[in-house]
Amino acid sequence: MGAVRRLVDADTGEAVPYAPYAFAGRHTQVDKARVEAISESRAFTPSQKFLVLWWISVSPEGMDPLRATGADISKRVGMSADAVGKINRKLTKHRILIVRGRIGNYNLYRISPYIAFHGTGLEQREAVKTCNPPDIPGFNEMTPARWEAQ
């Protein structure tokens, strides 16, 4: 194992205080403008918006799908399997979810890498090349999010 490296102030030569990254679990890069657009869109119901958030939190690293059926998901989120299936189909139609495999007749999904990605920036750049951008009513990629303009 190598030595621990510390940052040193270039002017004083003293060690820069260090604080460990104190958050538990995995972390994901999220496109705040797209999530804001989904959250504020009247085209999606509160249940659909909830599942977008859930998909952001559970999509595996890279482009792997979540290996779970609608019945599995419904138990985790407290919805019926029919409701989960209907929502997943709508989110897929808008390319918010993408299909990345199958179990029998059931599609395996993950969140679009345009919305959220767990991996390096380079890996995310390669991942977005494999799918089209989401179709989020009211979102215009050329218009910065309101929070950036404030």
Which residues have C-beta within 8 Å of that of residue 73, sequence separation ≥ 6? 66, 79, 81, 84, 88
Count of alpha carbons within 13 angstroms of residue 67, beta-carbon side: 2
- pLDDT, tens digit, for every residue of 3-33? 556 778 788 888 877 666 556 666 788 999 9
Given this model, what pLDDT does residue 20 score?
60
pLDDT reading at 118 higher than 80 = yes
Question: CB of 109 within 8 A of CB of 66?
Answer: yes
Given this model, what pLDDT does residue 10 score?
81
pTM score: 0.78
- pLDDT, tens digit, for every residue of 93-102? 999 999 999 9
Nearest alpha-carbon partner for 66 in 115, 92, 96, 100: 100
Q: Please give the structure tokens belonging to residue 64.
A: 């792997």
Question: CB of 104 within 8 A of CB of 121?
Answer: no
pLDDT reading at 146 higher than 70 = no
pLDDT reading at 64 higher than 60 = yes
Given this model, what pLDDT does residue 126 score?
92
What is the distance between the alpha carbons of residues 60 and 67, in angstroms, rounded to a whole number?
A: 9
Residue in the block written with tokens 């482009």: 63
- pLDDT, tens digit, for every residue of 36-51? 999 999 999 999 999 9
Count of alpha carbons within 13 angstroms of residue 103, beta-carbon side: 10
Domains detected in the chain: 29-132 (1.10.10.10)
Given this model, what pLDDT does residue 143 score?
59
pLDDT reading at 149 higher than 60 = no
Which residue has better confidence, 5 or 34? 34
